Structure 1
Amino acid sequence: MKLAWLRSLESAHQDCVWACTWVPATDRSGGLLLTGSLDETVKLWNPEDLSVVRTNTGHCLGVVSVAAHPSGRIAASASMDSFIRVFDVESNNTIATLEAPPSEVWQMQFDPRGTTLAVAGGSSASVKLWDTAEWKLVSTLSIPRPEGAKPSDKGSSKKFVLSVAWSPSGRQLACGSMDGSISVFDVQRAKFLHHLEGHTMPVRSLAYSPLDPRVLVSGSDDECIHMYDAEGKTLFSSMSGHSSWVLSVDVSPDGAAIASGSSDRTVRLWDPKMRAAVQTMTNHTDQVWGVKFEAVGGGARGSLLASVSDDKSISLYNYS
């Protein structure tokens, strides 16, 4: 496994770039890269040359998260202006505007079937689920206190929810909190299942393996990347090597590698079997907020990895 740097675009946005994801290809368009920035804009990019396809200026404060519907036709962006904007990828027209209390949206993700949008609810200590047919709030999953927590911790900022990830089946949802705990829910029954322990600081990012629904990967401010059996409640691997916060993690389409972005300004590729980083990319000059793999079905070139940073740039790498 290896990463090969393909291209970078400096000043892709006018301010820090905090979010990125891939928009799946449709019968009318190839796959696109979607980014969100503190400059209040959302941009769609052609990965072949990193040219701008469309720019959206619908927010009035910085964009902290972006998500793409599995159909490739719809995307969503969340901003510090307390709104989630759902828009048509091709036309940029707004489909729905979802309101949340101030700073209550950090990360969000569509479920694999595209029927539900899960939103990390920040200081509300909850994950909110929105139905994508009518864009109505259908459920609020409250994060319970971990066992052994003091009663005085119940309303503390440590329960602040930062990250969410759907299992490949869409049956379970994991969310990471400021206190380092990870909560796993049965979505259909709206039931809390268990906590996953091991991190000691905020869990900024979560990603399930696309090939093994039990494997959940997490990145934390404690500089560690963990791999859990999300169903068996066990931590089976811990990897360290970053010299600062791990801000983003993702699992490769073949399930064989993990990518991470960190405040130490690097992007790293990890071999879970070796429990070690096998490659370090140093092309960013500031902290790396997002890394995301693009799946390419049967393509000879493998897949792409995108990274975005506080240095306002986007980088693309070939993964093989």
Structure 2
Amino acid sequence: MSVILATAGHDDKIRFWEAPSGICSRVLRYADSQVNCLEITPDKQYLAAGGNPHIRLFEINNSSNQNPILTLEGHTGNVTSLGFQRNGRYLYSGSEDGTVKLWDLRSPTFSRSFDSKGAVNSVSLHPNQTEIISGDQNGSIKTWDLGSTKCISDVIPDARATSTSAQGRVPIQSVDVSNDGRILIAANNHAEVFAWNPSEAAKNGESAQPTYKFRAHALGAYLLHARISPDCQHLVTTSSDKTARLWDTNTWQQTQTLSQHTKWVWDAVFSADSSYLVTASSDRTARLWNLRVGAPVRQYVDHDYAVTCVALNDSAC
């Protein structure tokens, strides 16, 4: 299949879609919990789904097998975020249990675990493939060295957090690193986005503090997800205000507001060429947007409850 599109949420089902037609082509049941996050392997062979507290791996191209081929055990709370290393052999995950874990998919148990000392809301793999960035409920952004298993950076971007106490800090809801390693963004649930170039800061001997900050959504709205486009030119943020918003990563000016959902927009993912976007919403739908014109071109309607996560892989393998 050239395009793999999957959505999931609170109805305990994972749905695969024919992206151009909007037809649901396959349904998998995710037993025991809602689905919090989805990710497709780079080779389009497998789909990973994170729930509470399991991670399950499904075959994409074997429609006769509806059961997971691997269940990863080790987290003790909701799995909030996950992803694959470039070769698809390793999976990384973050959880409300306060840990970041690395998994070798040849085994059902984790190979490494990092203690964040706070519920982890988001994880992202640096393009150097040797560092994982996490954002947690204590308002902290940590960088983990996969080789030494140590935390090599711990940044609290909220200037109001002047003490070591986690009380009063704003939780970091989402973190991401651009494919070229030039931009690290962290967004808190008050819709404040922080951006900086960690490589430049390290090279100049400076602390890895953000160099730019802006509010992505109106005061009172919750930011739910933030993701940098594959071409590194755009950032999308999603929110409780029912919109997804696009930002130019060179100027940090807003370029588009996508506003046809009728409830919270939980997740968003870009196409490989960064010209399309799929969003997932509590209104029980996902939408495909043509970013060249800023309009939806397809709606995916079949879920019974909120759609909270979406995965898309339309890259050339």
Residue 220 of structure 1 deviates from its aligned partner by: 1.5
1:208 alignment partner in structure 2 = 177
Q: Measured at CA, do residues 272 and 135 of structure 1 come closer, stay the same or move farther in structure 2, by a change above 3 Å?
A: same
What are the within-5 Å matches in structure 2 for residues 230-309 of structure 1? 230-231=198-199, 232=201, 233-243=208-218, 244-296=221-273, 303-309=275-281
Q: Which amino acid aligns with 1:259?
A: V
Residue 248 of structure 2 contacts residue 254 of structure 2 at CA under 8 Å; is this kept in 1? yes
Counterpart CA distance in 2 for 1:56 and 1:240 is 38
Is 1:143 aligned to 2:116, yes or no? yes
Residue 282 of structure 1 deviates from its aligned partner by: 0.9
Counterpart CA distance in 2 for 1:163 and 1:70 is 20
Residue 102 of structure 1 deviates from its aligned partner by: 4.4
Aligned residue pairs total: 270
Counterpart CA distance in 2 for 1:259 and 1:252 is 8
The two structures have a TM-score, normalised by structure 1, of 0.80
Residues 126-154 of structure 1: CA distance to partner in whole angstroms, max 9, x if unpaired?
A: 1011102334310001226xxxxxxxxxx
Counterpart CA distance in 2 for 1:58 and 1:273 is 40
> Secondary structure of the equivalent of 1:94?
coil
Q: Which amino acid aligns with 2:88?
A: G
2:61 alignment partner in structure 1 = 90
What are the within-5 Å matches in structure 2 for residues 49-64 of structure 1? 49-64=21-36
Residue 227 of structure 2 contacts residue 237 of structure 2 at CA under 8 Å; is this kept in 1? yes
Root mean square deviation, CA, Å: 1.7
Counterpart CA distance in 1 for 2:244 and 2:95 is 27
Is 1:190 aligned to 2:149, yes or no? yes
Residue 163 of structure 1 contacts residue 176 of structure 1 at CA under 8 Å; is this kept in 2? yes
What are the within-5 Å matches in structure 2 for residues 76-155 of structure 1? 76-80=48-52, 82-91=53-62, 92-123=66-97, 125-143=98-116
Residue 197 of structure 1 contacts residue 235 of structure 1 at CA under 8 Å; is this kept in 2? no
1:44 alignment partner in structure 2 = 16
Residue 73 of structure 2 contacts residue 108 of structure 2 at CA under 8 Å; is this kept in 1? no
Residue 93 of structure 1 deviates from its aligned partner by: 4.2
Post-superposition, which runs of at least 4 consecutive aligned residues in structure 1 deviate over 3 A? Answer: none
Residue 193 of structure 2 contacts residue 216 of structure 2 at CA under 8 Å; is this kept in 1? no
2:301 alignment partner in structure 1 = none
> Secondary structure of the equivalent of 2:212?
strand
Is 1:224 aligned to 2:183, yes or no? no
Counterpart CA distance in 1 for 2:184 and 2:25 is 33
1:73 alignment partner in structure 2 = 45
Is 1:319 aligned to 2:296, yes or no? no
Residues 61-88 of structure 1: CA distance to partner in whole angstroms, max 9, x if unpaired?
A: 21111111111101111123x2211111
Counterpart CA distance in 2 for 1:50 and 1:304 is 15
Residues 19-57 of structure 1: CA distance to partner in whole angstroms, max 9, x if unpaired?
A: xxxxxxxxxx11211211100011111211221121101
What are the within-5 Å matches in structure 2 for residues 162-177 of structure 1? 162-177=121-136
Residue 315 of structure 1 deviates from its aligned partner by: 0.9
Counterpart CA distance in 1 for 2:229 and 2:210 is 20
Residue 74 of structure 2 contacts residue 110 of structure 2 at CA under 8 Å; is this kept in 1? no
Counterpart CA distance in 2 for 1:174 and 1:295 is 22
Q: Which amino acid aligns with 1:284?
A: H
Residue 101 of structure 1 deviates from its aligned partner by: 4.7
Q: Which amino acid aligns with 1:274?
A: T
> Secondary structure of the equivalent of 2:211?
strand
2:310 alignment partner in structure 1 = none
Counterpart CA distance in 2 for 1:193 and 1:73 is 33
Q: Which amino acid aligns with 2:211?
A: F
> Secondary structure of the equivalent of 2:86?
coil
Structure 1 unaligned runs (5+)? Answer: 1-28, 145-158, 297-301
Structure 2 unaligned runs (5+)? Answer: 159-168, 202-207, 293-317
Counterpart CA distance in 1 for 2:282 and 2:67 is 28
> Secondary structure of the equivalent of 1:49?
coil
Residue 163 of structure 1 deviates from its aligned partner by: 0.7
> Secondary structure of the equivalent of 1:63?
coil
Counterpart CA distance in 2 for 1:95 and 1:272 is 39
Counterpart CA distance in 1 for 2:264 and 2:9 is 14
